[in-house]
Amino acid sequence: MHDFLQISTTVPTEQLARKIAESLVASSLAACVQVLGPVQSTYRWQGKIETAYEWVCTAKSNRRLFSEIEKRICQLHEYECPEILATSIVAGSKSYLEWLERETDYEG
């Protein structure tokens, strides 16, 4: 049985989104990273309601790599408190999940 995650983060620029995506894929921490945006985010920060345009990075990876992915995102990220969320992939096509397994061979 496979144990995969979709890990998402939001960033302030498309350039940073591409940098994170390329870093995760080049190092085999993620098999794929989709970059979407801009999206409008509304949130509370330091007692004030803020609105900003951001880009969303969604990485597909192996659960065992989450801590390394979190560390890499934090190293590259500009935010003081970056959003890094993981959702379990509960099902997927056999061929896609096999590809995902092959492409996430990061050993540290």
Confidence of residue 69 (pLDDT cuts 50, 70, 90): very high
pTM over 0.75: yes
Number of other CB atoms surrounding residue 10 within 10 Å = 22
- What architecture is the 4-102 domain classified under in CATH? 2-Layer Sandwich (3.30)
Confidence of residue 1 (pLDDT cuts 50, 70, 90): low
Residues with Cβ within 8 Å of residue 74, at least 6 apart in sequence: 82, 84
58 CA to centre of own chain: 4
